[in-house]
Amino acid sequence: MSRNLLVASAVATAMTWLVLTSASAHHANSAYDRNQSVTVSGAVTQWQFINPHAGLWL
């Protein structure tokens, strides 16, 4: 394996790890109880779907 390929592989691995770590922390679900249902009622005043998240205002 050439030195350039080794360096490129190491950089790609590090960048992937950094992105995945950041995404994992950003999308943590520790604040949610998936076993508990919640019902919300009201008039929808605004709806936005902006990548990567949706917004719903009541």
Domain parsing of the chain, residue ranges: 1-27
Burial 5-44 (b: 16+ CB within 10 A, else e): eeeeeeeeeeeeeeeeeeeeeeeeeeeeeeeeeeeeeeee
Residue 13's pLDDT is what? 92
pLDDT single digits (tens) 18-58:
777 666 656 666 677 778 888 999 999 999 988 777 888 99
Residue 43's pLDDT is what? 94
- C-alpha span between 50 and 55 (Å, rounded): 8
Residue 54's pLDDT is what? 86
* Whether the predicted pLDDT of 5 surpasses 70: yes
